[in-house]
Structure 1
Amino acid sequence: MFFVLILMALTNGISVLSFNQPKLCPTAQWNSKGSTLFFMSDMFTKYPILFIDSNNTIYSVSEKEHEILISFKDRIHSTSIRYSFMSVLSAIFVTMNGDIYTSYQNTIISKWIASTKKFVTVMNAESVCSDLFVDLNNDLYCSMTEENKIVKRVLNKNNEVDLTIVAGSNTAGSASHQLLLPRGIFVDTNLDLYVADCYNHRIQLFNLNEKHGKTVAGQSSTDITISLYHPCSVIVDSDKYLFISFYLRHHIVGSGPNGFRCISGCDGEGIQSSAAKIPSKLSFDISGNLFFRDGTDRLMKFTLEKNSCEYLPSTIQAMYSSILTNNQRFSRTLFDHPFYYYETIEITVSKNDLYIIIGNSSIDLYGHVYKDHFERFNPAGNLIAWYGKCCNKDQFKFTLDLKINTKYILVVTTYNPNVTGPFTITIFGLNTIRLQHMNVEVVVESIYSSALTQAHPKYDYRSCEDASESFYEAVQVEVNESGFYTILSSSSSSNMHLSNYVYEHNFNPRMEFGNLLTNRNNGCNGNPSKITIKLMTGIRYILVVTTCIEYQTGKFSIKILGKSNASFQRVDASPITNSSYSSNLTNANQKFPRFCGSSGYYYYETVRLTVLTNGVYTFLNDPQLFVSTYIYESHFDPLNPRRNLMPFYRHICDSKAGLTVKLRAGTTYIIVVTPIMPLYEVEFQVLAYGPTNVIFERFVDNSTYCYIGGPCDAQVKSIGLTLDDILRDQINRNMTINHQPFLIKISVAITTLILIAGIISSACSLLTFQNRSLRQTGCGLYLLASSITSLLTTIMFTIKFWFVLLTQMSISVHLSILQGGCKSIETLLKLFFYWDAWLNACIAVERAITVYHGVNFNKAKSKRYARWIIFILPFCIMATIIHEPLYRQIFTYDMRNVMLIESMTDDIAETIEDRNTWCTTSYSQSIQDYNTGSLFVHLLGPFITNFLSALFIITRSARRRVEVQKQQTYKAHIREQWQEHKQLVISPTILLFLSTPRLVISLLSGCIQLSDHVWLYLSAYFISFLPSILIFIVYVIPSTLYRNTFKNSRLKICQRPRS
């Protein structure tokens, strides 16, 4: 029946599939970073659900609202379907007629019928279905993760018991008929079933009615595919190429005519580190864009880059024909013996461009393309493209971007072993290309034979203890020529399975991961023990041969294949020493957020580590104590626990958990011990094994207050405190003024009072000094200008306060507004503040000049100079602070909710809960020194000028009085002048006293804890702006002339309406 449906679809141009299987070009590429379309909800989702139908309608789930969300392609608003089974949805599938199949954690499978808009129960499964699929025959597939099987039910029958196991069994395992915690499933148009066999790290293909699956990607595949780590979702395009997402890793990979390639996340790019490392669901839309729903409920889109499907060349540039014979053999697969015949061809291009390489033959071919060099004992090394098909015209077809001055090697072999025959290679391109046959290097074989007995020492890769029960023999291996070598092992008994491990320099079973070069479990996964590794001359290698099963003994032989002879010598384990450190984690220890953005805090203890000899060291602790150990080089920053972290290999053994790391003598290392649960108190012991003893020394570092931000996203504070620094931790996000802390409410009240007082003071001063009679000299002009700058300072101070408050209260402020306010407001505030201070100094100087010249004082010249000074002064001040906007930047820090998924490996899930945006400064030391000098000039300069001018006025006036009134002494005149002009000294002293807090907080080190004295710092900040509201009190009230002028001006204003 389904063949008829497919035929109708092809002839009528319609789709019979409810999902999308796009036809992709050979060079298809996706934007690796992706874009977040929206968040589905604010709830952590164990089963991230996503389905996109053939109309580009997106189906997702909100656990919080118990709704299925439906987003249509051409509609702005979404619709929703509320489900009432009161359980968490685990999977959905939408059919062509719009019916929605749903599965729940309570094992119910239901169907929402589009025609009636009602739910009906389909069946009660024996376990939770982590994925659903309905094939073209209307058969329902359920991935029962906990039961390690995939079951199928024929929906056209009413018998609920009619379930068939189509993949896996009731027992977990890694055999071809078994599964281990499977997750995502996909059924293609041939009714072939693809299964993401999550904990077997592979994708299994079960052909129709076949109980044994074939590994088409991942671990245990006989073909070269790609390494997978907990694959959880698999989909297939129209050409049956695979697209896979990972569990606990943020990788998306896909296959194609050139083999497998990474789409996102495999090289550290792609999805940001803030994204969750939890299950993810893949889906295509009509255009071939990839959609990704993760456990933090983010819907992400990876756009198919249209320019990646460029014009493909159709001109033949080179052809090569030959015959595969049995002269050259190798293993194109990872585990089989070398029974594939092959030929190597060097490819040289004349220009960087796209080229199409096609293999044709009467036999089934398989092709590999290598870059730089090909090592037949390491078929996966330097491989850039590989593919082959059975029973097809073009057995392989590569579309590659080839570069000049680069050596490419095409290896032509067969799809099946032990096959010979002719083949033809055709290359299409726009530029000339050269193909040349390559000779194969001669292989030298070296053999070592021995036997494992009960007298041999014991070793077990599963344990870090001495009580290992597998016998082993350590053999020193040295080679005469550097290159790739393949190590094969065999035993005298078919029941004796060997496992080989290669170490560099030294080996000790107590440090099984120290100097280890090869993977674990080699030879114990049902495949022959085979290692291909690059060995260098002059380096001592230790080959450890052991058994997969305990207590086995018997004869064995080691065969090494390579370009030169290898020498063997049996050796004993290298000597090691051990050291220990014991302590306990309590509430007296320091705390830090262990993960980036985490709001949970963990106790930790820092221990300085000193090693006396270069080498590899292993550190162990008891995993039952729930503690983790980390090693840092030079310094540990609790606000950035990734910085300076030493690369290490973490391992969990039967009774010990630890890490192995390479350390150097003369370097300072920091060991950090922390529990895997927040605020967990525990005693612990760290055991260290290495070539020599190590020295442990506990110490405490309290330098974290020098930073703002949070884990993995911190910034060093510069000198001085701004209003941003003082208030940033006191403001509640997304709350009104009524819900802010008392400190903020008081600050709002004080700021309002300062604004009102400043406006009143400046208005009264303007009313006084706008009088023409007072502006006959430069002093009057300075006072008028100071009235304006005082008002501007007060207004800008108020703007600054409300800008900080409102931008911290709301998360919806546009970044350009934040950036503009950050760079301009503080700079303008400094400009007006300093301008006002220097105008006060100019007033004092003008008065001193008036006293100095006496009756000869030139008022016209004084006014002319004053106008120029008032105009030039802001430019001079701005020149000293012009660099400020360059060093003021917006600093964004995400607050995340972190869920620990796997404690010992630190696999976590993160959800962005809030985003903090702060205005920060970051000065170099030279700029800090300059700012300090500039600050002293602008704050102390006006005071010194005022003070010296006042002293000059008093002494000069006293000297003139002495000349006229000689009956009084000079000291008596000084006392009289002091009584007359003392306000000239007192006023600047008061202004200096009020400005001193600004000087102090501007010079404070960034390494202070603001929360302990926030009232003090905020009060000091407010006090520093009081001089701007005191101009009327300082200059008008003490002067009889100015007071009378103010009264007269006020009376004139009051009398105007009456007249």
Structure 2
Amino acid sequence: MFFVLILMALTNGISVLSFNQPKLCPTAQWNSKGSTLFFMSDMFTKYPILFIDSNNTIYSVSEKEHEILISFKDRIHSTSIRYSFMSVLSAIFVTMNGDIYTSYQNTIISKWIASTKKFVTVMNAESVCSDLFVDLNNDLYCSMTEENKIVKRVLNKNNEVDLTIVAGSNTAGSASHQLLLPRGIFVDTNLDLYVADCYNHRIQLFNLNEKHGKTVAGQSSTDITISLYHPCSVIVDSDKYLFISFYLRHHIVGSGPNGFRCISGCDGEGIQSSAAKIPSKLSFDISGNLFFRDGTDRLMKFTLEKNSCEYLPSTIQAMYSSILTNNQRFSRTLFDHPFYYYETIEITVSKNDLYIIIGNSSIDLYGHVYKDHFERFNPAGNLIAWYGKCCNKDQFKFTLDLKINTKYILVVTTYNPNVTGPFTITIFGLNTIRLQHMNVEVVVESIYSSALTQAHPKYDYRSCEDASESFYEAVQVEVNESGFYTILSSSSSSNMHLSNYVYEHNFNPRMEFGNLLTNRNNGCNGNPSKITIKLMTGIRYILVVTTCIEYQTGKFSIKILGKSNASFQRVDASPITNSSYSSNLTNANQKFPRFCGSSGYYYYETVRLTVLTNGVYTFLNDPQLNLMPFYRHICDSKAGLTVKLRAGTTYIIVVTPIMPLYEVEFQVLAYGPTNVIFERFVDNSTYCYIGGPCDAQVKSIGLTLDDILRDQINRNMTINHQPFLIKISVAITTLILIAGIISSACSLLTFQNRSLRQTGCGLYLLASSITSLLTTIMFTIKFWFVLLTQMSISVHLSILQGGCKSIETLLKLFFYWDAWLNACIAVERAITVYHGVNFNKAKSKRYARWIIFILPFCIMATIIHEPLYRQIFTYDMRNVMLIESMTDDIAETIEDRNTWCTTSYSQSIQDYNTGSLFVHLLGPFITNFLSALFIITRSARRRVEVQKQQTYKAHIREQWQEHKQLVISPTILLFLSTPRLVISLLSGCIQLSDHVWLYLSAYFISFLPSILIFIVYVIPSTLYRNTFKNSRLKICQRPRS
């Protein structure tokens, strides 16, 4: 059956695979930065699920909604499948016919049948499947991480218990037939199984029906490949080249005919370090683009750079020849002894471009390319490409995208140890390249020996234990010359695993993160402790040596390798003092919405603190229940924050519970070089922060649409998945746009008539028709800009900044311009009544043209400060969690990233802004109202002079009946503008989420005057109505003629 399927695929060109195995060129390169497609905190899960089928349909999971999200290639809107199993989804796989296999944390495996659109239970696996795969024979594979094995079930059989172990066994281990906490799996078209053997730091290949695997990458590989650290996902392309993502390091590497290269994360770029300790899932699309789903629920895309395959530079730009001698040696990997001779060459390019680096020799070569810095005692650091192969003409070959103003180091060594001989390096490219031999610094070795005993103090290297039983010794280290140094440690017993930590200036076990320069758990991951760090002269460093297992004692030695001698001196822990502050959070405390977009409010207490001495301080809390005010690191029983504080500066600590409106007793403990002075305070000033950390702006006049909608929009969801408030806002905005266009078009049709433009009034009305249209269009642009930029996180920052500074300003310009034109119309009418038959139409038109031209510049001058004070504010929702109990690994992740347009004025600018708002909103109304009263009274006075038989009051009543629309119109306009004025002038702190319907309605109402110009000016006037009818008739009759 298998060969029949393959034959059908070859003869008919039909894909029999539901997943993608693209054919990649040897020089394929991916954009290392990546772009985020989805970013949804609602989807947070410990199992980062992703599948892309051969139609480029993306399958992901919303754990919060219990939905499988399906995003089709050419459709804007996604669909969803709701699963009913009340458990966390752990893996999915989609077959060619659209059936979806799903596994859950409750060990159930189910299938969603596309033809019936229903779920059926496939089996109870009796262990969680961290990954699923269905091969060409319709066999289902399950990666049982906790059972250290991969099992297979033949789906064509009805026997539910028909499970076969195809990799690993029931016992953990590192032998070829064993696995240790396996994760990702992949089965190729030959039915060969690839396993990411996570805690054995390797990729295992199990050929069909073979129980013993071959290590194709990582530790114990029979060939020289790559050092892996907790690989969690593996996929292969059509040529069986590997692509691997790392657990706990967030690297992505790929292999090819030219060896391994780093795709993202290996040089400190690419994926953000804030999410560097979360498992990841890889998948190809049909075009060869790499998709990456991590535990912070970002779906990232690494685009295949087409130009990396379109051309290969054939012009030789540089050549370098030399001879490897026995003068220099280093360890190529973390596991080998330093028996490899090498030479270092600095590469400098003159232009960003693709370059081909080839090494040739009569001996078997191996090449490494580093970025910025190479340290021979830490060969994995800064490594971006590496390869070597026995007995080839081209011993190694790299195709790399090199950048100007960047230092690259090519390290030429040998495939086998203890080999010397000549070699030649040839670089092809389109631009000039410079190769320069790098002299190897003389390495000075400094050794310190001692022993850990039961008399030594204890150190909490895991940071989450209340009382640690690991002994430690603190050693002061000083160097005579600044530079990179490598710190190695060894013990007298093979069972005694050491871990080293470097602190700057001071160290105290109560402040394990204070002044810490190196990563935690160094040496406790199965590899020897090795630290490469830059040390400076004149600075006191404290090296802490401890054990990975409690109660261990024994002799140890420290070796520091570098450019100068290092001096050692055993020291005691630096003295510290402790201070404390205790209180209760109750309903008497202030409250605020701690998380952006959340409707839940949290009690909080603000504590002012000062210190007498500059230094590093650690703050811990000891609550009765789970209080979590700090985000730096968190354990089950305590949370803490380590910061540098300066004397003479006032700091604020905000303490809040983890649950909304929760009352709890708490205590904050502070450790540092001197006492910390705590003082509770309550800020009752009117300049308060709205909405907690989400709104980093002081309440200022002029509420905008950004302020109203920012917490109501669901991130990375389509319109269909938005709240009812957003949907109704979309409908209202659409209606306003349609009504505004119709009203402005009818007004333009009316006032374009030459007879109406004989006076300034007609010109004002024509201009007002245009500004009303511009206001309506800009209002629509504003609404959709706020909505779309909040719905998607992939909008470029320059677009956000440009829209933030320009759209609101232009909207106000057109809105105020339209309002002042209405005032000019009223004034023009009043002037006409005042002059009567002596009214000069030519002068009126000349003045009107100048006023229409000058007016926008005057308005802009009053609001020019707004784009200067409008800025993009980014707020990250962070989560800190213990992600691996076996190694106590803690990850601080960004669950969501919110970017808003905010304003923050100084008091003087705010006072000016208040006055400007009053002028622009009340000025046109007052002008309209006074002009209308003047017209009525002036006309009545003239009638009294002519018709003396009627009283003045009678003439007033007649004039009111004739000109009442002149008073009613500005009154209506003021009434419609009043809600916006009122909400803008609210004093004190306001919670927008409490009355969002009120604020949004007021905002929409304030723009109704822009769509009422036809109703306000044309319909009440017989002359204008007749002119509109005649103009419309002319247009209707024009095609007939």
Please give the TM-score of this superposition, normalised by the length of structure 1.
Answer: 0.68
- SS for the counterpart of 2:1031 is helix
Contact 1:488 1:558 in 2 (8 A): yes
- Work out whether residues 634 and 881 of structure 2, in 8 Å CA contact, stay in contact via their aligned partners in 1: no
Cα distance change, pair 701–980 in 1 and its aligned pair in 2 (3 A)? same
Instruction: Measure how far apart 1:128 and its partner are.
Output: 3.6
> Post-superposition shift, 1:576?
0.9
- The 1:215/1:613 distance shift into structure 2, 3 A limit, reads farther
Q: Distance in 1 between matches of 2:468 and 2:549?
A: 11
Structure 2 contact 576–673 (Cα < 8 Å) conserved? yes
Q: Which residue does the alignment assign to 1:826? A: 808
Q: CA deviation at 1:905?
A: 14
Distance 1:284 1:726, change over 3 A: closer
Per-residue CA deviation, residues 991-1020 of structure 1 (Å, 9 max, x unaligned), is 999998876665555854467789998999
Structure 1 pair 26/475, CA: closer, same or farther in 2 (3 Å)? Answer: same
Q: C-alpha offsets along residues 856-893 of structure 1, whole Å, 9 cap, x if unaligned?
A: 99999999999999999899879877999999999999
> Is the Cα contact below 8 Å between 2:744 and 2:1013 reproduced in 1?
yes
Cα pair distance change 1:1015/1:428, threshold 3 Å: closer
- Relative to structure 1, is the Cα distance of residues 548 and 391 closer, same or farther in structure 2, using a 3 angstrom cutoff? farther
Report how far residue 341 of structure 1 moved: 2.3
Q: Which piece of structure 1 moves more, 1027-1036 or 1043-1052?
A: 1043-1052
CA distance 1:429–1:703, shift in 2 (3 Å): farther
Are the counterparts in 2 of residues 707 and 1006 from structure 1 also a CA contact under 8 Å? Answer: no
Taking the aligned partners of 2:459 and 2:204, their CA distance within structure 1 comes to 34
Say how many residue pairs are matched. Answer: 1040
Task: Tell me: CA distance 1:194–1:472, structure 2 relative to 1, closer, same or farther (3 Å).
Answer: same
CA distance in 1, matches of 2:1040, 2:240: 95
Judge which range, 5-14 or 462-471, deviates more: 5-14
Contact 1:502 1:518 in 2 (8 A): yes
Q: Which range is displaced more, 300-309 or 566-575?
A: 300-309
- Deviation, 1:578, is 1.0
**How far apart in 2 are the matches of 1:834 and 1:28?**
55
Aligned CA distance change for structure 1 residues 204 and 509 (closer, same or farther; 3 Å): farther
Q: Residues 1029 and 416 of structure 1: is their aligned pair in 2 closer, same or farther, counting only changes over 3 Å?
A: closer
Provide closer, same or farther for how the CA distance between residues 924 and 176 of structure 1 changes in structure 2, counting only shifts above 3 A.
farther
8 Å Cα contact 1:40-1:61 kept in structure 2:
no
Tell me: CA distance 1:607–1:392, structure 2 relative to 1, closer, same or farther (3 Å): farther
Q: Is contact 1:648–1:660 with CA below 8 Å preserved after alignment? A: no
Instruction: Summarize the Cα distance change of 1:579–1:969 in structure 2 as closer, same or farther, 3 Å threshold.
Output: same
Shift in CA distance, 408/907, structure 1 to aligned 2, threshold 3 Å: closer
Kindly provide the CA deviation profile for residues 200-231 of structure 1, in whole angstroms up to 9, marking residues without a partner as x. Answer: 77655567888787877789999999998875
Q: Give the whole-Å Cα distance in 2 for the aligned partners of 1:245 and 1:797.
A: 46
Cα separation, 2, equivalents of 1:681 and 1:367: 62
Instruction: Please report how far the alpha carbon of residue 699 of structure 1 lies from its aligned counterpart in structure 2 after TM superposition.
Output: 3.1
Shift in Å, 1:334: 1.8
More displaced stretch, 614-623 vs 924-933: 924-933
Matching residue within 633, 639, 647 for 1:665: 647
Separation (CA, whole Å) in 1 of partners of 2:949 and 2:74: 102
Partner residue in 2 for 1:755 = 737
Q: CA deviation at 1:967?
A: 23
| Contact kept? 1:717, 1:921, Cα under 8 Å | no
| Residues 94/1015 of structure 1: CA separation in 2 closer, same or farther (3 Å cut) | closer
Q: Residue deviations 1:285-337, cap 9 Å, x none?
A: 44313345678999875542312324112345555555544432111112433
Give the direction of change, closer, same or farther, for the CA distance of 1:719–1:426 in structure 2 (3 Å limit): same
Range moving further from structure 2, 733-742 or 403-412: 733-742
Partners of 1:16 and 1:1053 in 2: how far apart?
62
1:8-53 residue CA offsets vs partner (Å, 9 max, x unmatched) = 9999999886643323234433456767889999988886665556
SS in 2 for 1:704: coil
Structure 2 unmatched runs, 5+: none
Alpha carbons 1:463, 1:655 under 8 Å: kept: no
- Alpha-carbon distance in 2 for matches of 1:1056, 1:314: 67
Alpha-carbon distance change, 872 to 573 in structure 1, aligned in 2, over 3 angstroms: closer
| Distance change in 2, residues 1:192/1:679 (3 Å) | farther
After alignment, is 648-657 or 852-861 more displaced?
Answer: 852-861
After the TM superposition, which of the residue ranges 540-549 and 425-434 deviates more from structure 2? 425-434
**More deviation in 857-866 or 373-382?**
857-866
Whole-angstrom CA distance in 1 between matches of 2:51 and 2:1032: 76
SS in 1 for 2:981: helix
CA distance in structure 2 between the partners assigned to 1:1032 and 1:923 by the alignment: 38
Question: Contact between 1:706 and 1:1008, CA under 8 Å: does it hold in 2?
Answer: no
- C-alpha displacement at 1:398, in angstroms? 1.0
Distance 1:537 1:101 in 2: 60
Match of 2:473 in 1: 473
Deviations 1:66-85 (A, max 9, x none): 99999998999999999999
SS of equivalent to 2:756: helix
Q: Using a 3 Å threshold, how does the CA distance of structure 1 residues 477 and 898 change in structure 2: closer, same or farther? A: closer
- Taking a change above 3 Å as real, the CA distance of residues 336 and 765 of structure 1, as seen in their structure-2 partners, is closer
Query: Per-residue deviation at 1:666?
Result: 3.0
Deviates more, 1:358-367 or 1:1028-1037: 1028-1037
Deviation at 1:598, TM superposition (A): 4.2
Q: Residue 219 and residue 673 in structure 1: after superposition, are their counterparts in 2 closer, same or farther (change >3 A)?
A: farther
Deviation at 1:919, TM superposition (A): 10
Instruction: Determine the C-alpha separation between the residues in 1 that align with 2:57 and 2:946.
Output: 101
Q: 1:911 to 1:967 in 2, by over 3 A?
A: same
Q: Secondary structure of 1:1043's match?
A: helix
Q: Is the 8 A contact 1:649 1:660 kept in 2?
A: no
Tell me if structure 2 keeps the 8 A contact 1:595–1:898.
no
Gapped regions of structure 1 (runs ≥ 5): 625-643
Quick check: 2:694–2:875 contact (8 Å CA) kept in 1? no
Q: Greater Rg, structure 1 or structure 2?
A: 1
Q: Give the conservation status (yes or no) of the 8 Å contact 1:131–1:142.
A: yes
Partner of 2:90: 90
Structure 1 CA distance, aligned partners of 2:447 and 2:892? 52
CA contact 2:592–2:602 (8 Å) conserved in 1: yes
Q: Indicate conservation of the 8 Å contact 2:261/2:386, yes or no.
A: no
Q: What's the CA shift for 1:577?
A: 0.9
The CA deviation string for residues 69-122 of structure 1, in whole angstroms up to 9 with x for no partner, is 999989999999999999987555577899987766665668999999999998
The 3-state SS of whatever aligns with 1:555 is strand
Q: Relative to structure 2, which stretch is displaced further, 265-274 or 966-975?
A: 966-975
Cα distance, 1:235 vs structure 2 = 0.6
Secondary structure at the aligned position of 2:926 is classed as helix
TM-score by length of 2: 0.69
Deviates more, 1:1004-1013 or 1:671-680: 1004-1013
Asked whether 1:163 is paired with 2:157, we answer: no
Equivalence for 2:834: 852
Deviates more, 1:414-423 or 1:868-877: 868-877
Worse-matched range after superposition: 517-526 or 255-264: 255-264
Q: How far 1:443 moved relative to its partner?
A: 1.8
Q: Distance in 2 between matches of 1:853 and 1:496?
A: 105
Q: Summarize the Cα distance change of 1:12–1:427 in structure 2 as closer, same or farther, 3 Å threshold.
A: farther
Cα deviation, 1:422-474, whole Å, max 9, x if unaligned, reads 54444334456565554432222222233333433333423577854333332
Q: Which has the larger displacement, 548-557 or 42-51? A: 42-51
* 1:377 and 1:484 in contact (8 A); partners too: no
Shift in alpha-carbon separation, 1:849–1:909, aligned structure 2, 3 A: same
Q: Determine the C-alpha separation between the residues in 2 that align with 1:949 and 1:98.
A: 72
- My pick for the range that moved more, 448-457 or 159-168, is 159-168
Q: CA deviation at 1:620?
A: 2.3
Rounded Cα–Cα distance in structure 1 between residues aligned with 2:1018 and 2:58: 72
Q: Against the structure 1 CA distance between its residues 733 and 1038, is the aligned structure 2 distance closer, same or farther, given a 3 Å change threshold? A: same
Kindly tell me: are residues 158 and 40 of structure 1, through their superposed partners in 2, closer, same or farther at Cα, counting changes over 3 Å?
farther
Q: CA deviation at 1:143?
A: 0.6
CA distance in 1 between partners of 2:144 and 2:617 (Å): 43
Q: Distance in 1 between matches of 2:926 and 2:715?
A: 44
Shift of residue 569, structure 1, vs aligned partner: 1.7
Query: Contact 1:597/1:896 (CA < 8 Å) preserved in 2?
Result: no
User: Residues 368 and 598 from structure 1, CA distance in 2 versus in 1: closer, same or farther, beyond 3 angstroms?
Assistant: farther
For residues 360 and 1007 of structure 1, do their structure 2 counterparts lie closer, same or farther at Cα, with a shift above 3 Å needed?
same
Q: Is the 8 A contact 1:647 1:661 kept in 2?
A: no
Q: CA, structure 1 residues 251+396, in 2 after alignment: closer, same or farther (shift >3 Å)? A: closer
Of 380-389 and 238-247, more deviation after overlay is shown by 238-247
Is the contact between residue 291 and residue 299 of structure 1 (CA under 8 Å) also seen in structure 2?
yes
Change (3 A) 1:777 1:902: same
Q: Provide the aligned C-alpha RMSD in A.
A: 8.7
The Cα of 1:575 is off from its aligned counterpart by 0.7
Higher mean alpha-carbon deviation, 846-855 vs 19-28, is at 846-855
Tell me, in whole angstroms, the C-alpha distance in 2 between the residues paired with 1:118 and 1:584: 51
